[in-house]
Structure 1
Amino acid sequence: MTLRVVEWSTGTVGRHAIAGIDARPDLELVGVWVSDLAKVGRDAGELAGLGRDLGVVATNDRDALIALKPDCIVHTAMTDDRIFEAIDDLISFVEAGINVVSSGPVVLQFPAGILDVDLLDRIEAAGRTGNASLHVNGIDPGFANDVLPLAMTSLSQRIDELRCLEIADYSTYYQPVVMKTIFGFGQPMDETPILLYPGVLAMGWGSVVRQLAAGLGVRLDEPLVERHERVAADRDYSTVSVDIAEGTMAALHFEVIGQVGGVDRVVLEHYTRTHPDQCPDWPKPAEGDGCYRILISGEPEMTVEFTHRGEHGDHNVSGMIITAMRLVNSVAAVVDAKPGLVTALDLPPVTGRGLVARP
């Protein structure tokens, strides 16, 4: 059965989602939403850089797209700076009977213990009203720190600590709001960026820690623990999102920790550089400029390193692709899922079915 899909936004993730929807034989792109008036009326194939038209014209008419009654919306719009407004959008889609896979807000990856119960009840009520499901995922938060580490723990005899790391150079990551305003890169060291206000790290990545704990059947101490380390630039740097002057913030290491009895048991950790030469004492990928690393301490000790790169070599581009495709490839499973909020713990294995290259 072919599922009718609307792509919601055509930015750094959305353009790759369009290409992915087009590549899957079981999906049909029937609509595209854009916020930029300059994109209205342009073909989806052009916006995705496919070099050919798809016969679907972008619009900013929200009601017209909902009236199409698609089976699913692939939602990749920016949500980091409008979390609760975005949640309202997603609820309205589900209430209208449209299943949704979304890259954010990431707190919805596993919001239990983070979001207000009344808000979670609204999502579940919308699911019952529309008989539709909502799944928020991607790569981080997402596959790299939910499905992948939990699959690895199936090999464990004893688990002392589960640690999920992102180690990456963000110099080619184009998200100016995220890089400058949220992370604080290029900002004075005596200013606190939004990400490092107390509780924000636990809101942004606590869903990862809590979902892993739920998958392992562990009850965590409350609240989650946050740790961070900021590093000033030793010289001027330039990235695609922000210029970083000497002495301003250039690198960030943070942890969100789930403890049991005061002992670290489930940890989400990021080492974020804005140039590969920074912080030589920090962990580095075994190859390339970025990786996800799973460390399982116990019996046996296990390490998994997951790297990715685009056809042209840039890991930040491929990071957008794998984020998009985790959503696109989940569409059928989410359409078949129970109504309401669906997490990775609820879904069957998601694969790249239908994507094997043909002669």
Structure 2
Amino acid sequence: MTLRVVEWSTGTVGRHAIAGIDARPDLELIGVWVSDPAKVGRDAGDLAGLGRELGVAATNDRDALIALKPDCIVHTAMTDDRIFEAIDDLIFFIESGINVVSSGPVLLQFPQGILDQDLIDRIAAAGRSGNASLHVNGIDPGFANDMLPLSMTSLSQRIDEVRCLEIADYSTYYQPVVMKTIFGFGQSMDETPMLLYPGVLAMGWGSVVRQIAAGLDLTLDEPLVERFDRVAADRDYSTVSVDIPEGAMAALHFEVVGQVNGVDRVVLEHFTRTHPEQCPDWPTPAQGDGCYRILISGEPQMQVEFTHHGENGDHNVSGMIVTAMRLVNSVAAVVDAKPGLVTALDLPPVSGRGLVAGR
């Protein structure tokens, strides 16, 4: 059966989602939403850089897209700076009877212990009302730190700690709001960026820690523990999103930690550089400029390093692709899922079925 899909946004992730929807034989792109008036009327294939038209014109008319009654919306709009407004959008979609896979807000990956229960209940009620499902996932949070580590634990005899790391150079990551306002790169070391206010790290990545804990049947101490350290630029740096003068914030290491009786048991950790030469004492990928590394301490000791890069070699481009494709490839499973909020723990295995070249 072919599922009719609307793509919601055509930015750094959305453009790759359009290409992915077009590539899957079981999906049909029937609509595209854009926020930029200059994109209205442009063909989806043009917006995705496919070099050909798909016969679907972009619109900023929400009601017109809802009236198409798609089976699913692939929602890749920016949510980091409008979390609760975005949640309202997602609730509206599922109340309207449309299933949704979304890249954010990431705290909906596993919101228990992060959002008020009243809001979680509201999402569940909206799903029941519209008989539709909502799944929020991507790559981080998402596959690299939910399904990958939990799959590895199936090999364990004893688990002492599960640690999920992102080690990356963000110099080619184009998201000015994220880079400057949220992370604080290029800002004075005397300023506190949004991400480092108490509780924000646990809100942004606590869903990872809590979902892994749920998958391992752990009851965590409250609250989650936040740790971080920042590094000032030793010279001027330039990234595609922000210029970083000498002395300004240039690199960030943080941890969000789930403890049991005061002992670290589940850890989400990021080492974020804005130039590959920074912080030589920090961990580095075995190859390339970025990786996800899963470390499981116990019996046996296990480590997996997951890397990716685009055909042009840029891991930030491929990061957008894998984020988009985890969503696109989950559409059928989410359409078949129970109504309401669906986490990775609820889904069957998701694969790239139908995407082998030349089939």
TM bracket (short chain): over 0.9
Identity %: 89
Question: Which residue is equivalent to 1:73?
Answer: 73
Q: Given residue 189 of structure 1, which amino acid in structure 2 is its aligned partner? A: M
Superposition pairs of residues 221-300 of structure 1, within 5 angstroms:
221-300=221-300
Q: Given residue 217 of structure 2, which amino acid in structure 1 is its aligned partner? A: G
What CA deviation, in whole Å up to 9, does each residue of 1:230-259 have, x standing for no partner? 000000000000000000000000000000
1:210 Cα deviation after fit: 0.1
1:346 Cα deviation after fit: 0.0
Superposition pairs of residues 11-50 of structure 1, within 5 angstroms:
11-50=11-50
Contiguous gaps of at least 5 residues in structure 2: none
Question: Which residue is equivalent to 1:307?
Answer: 307
CA RMSD in angstroms, aligned pairs only:
0.4
1:98 Cα deviation after fit: 0.1
1:86 Cα deviation after fit: 0.2
TM-score when normalising by structure 1: 1.00
1:97 Cα deviation after fit: 0.1
Q: Partners of 1:125 and 1:266 in 2: how far apart?
A: 31
Q: Partners of 1:257 and 1:129 in 2: how far apart?
A: 36
Q: Partners of 1:192 and 1:153 in 2: how far apart?
A: 37
Question: Which residue is equivalent to 1:316?
Answer: 316
Matched, 1:130 2:145: no
What secondary structure does 2:344 align onto? coil
Q: Given residue 33 of structure 1, which amino acid in structure 2 is its aligned partner? A: W
Q: Given residue 49 of structure 1, which amino acid in structure 2 is its aligned partner? A: G
TM-score when normalising by structure 2: 1.00
Q: Partners of 1:41 and 1:190 in 2: how far apart?
A: 45
What secondary structure does 1:177 align onto? helix
Q: Given residue 95 of structure 1, which amino acid in structure 2 is its aligned partner? A: E
Q: Partners of 1:260 and 1:147 in 2: how far apart?
A: 22
Contiguous gaps of at least 5 residues in structure 1: none
1:327 Cα deviation after fit: 0.1
Structure 1 stretches of at least 4 aligned residues deviating more than 3 Å after TM superposition: none
1:199 Cα deviation after fit: 0.2
What CA deviation, in whole Å up to 9, does each residue of 1:280-301 have, x standing for no partner? 0000000000000000000000
Q: Partners of 1:160 and 1:122 in 2: how far apart?
A: 36
What CA deviation, in whole Å up to 9, does each residue of 1:16-41 have, x standing for no partner? 00000000000000000000000000
Matched, 1:145 2:145: yes
1:46 Cα deviation after fit: 0.2
What CA deviation, in whole Å up to 9, does each residue of 1:139-185 have, x standing for no partner? 00000000000000000000000000000000000000000000000
Q: Partners of 1:302 and 1:120 in 2: how far apart?
A: 35
Matched, 1:53 2:45: no
Q: Partners of 1:220 and 1:162 in 2: how far apart?
A: 13
1:116 Cα deviation after fit: 0.5
Q: Partners of 2:63 and 2:158 in 1: how far apart?
A: 52
Question: Which residue is equivalent to 2:2?
Answer: 2
Matched, 1:337 2:337: yes
Q: Partners of 1:119 and 1:256 in 2: how far apart?
A: 23
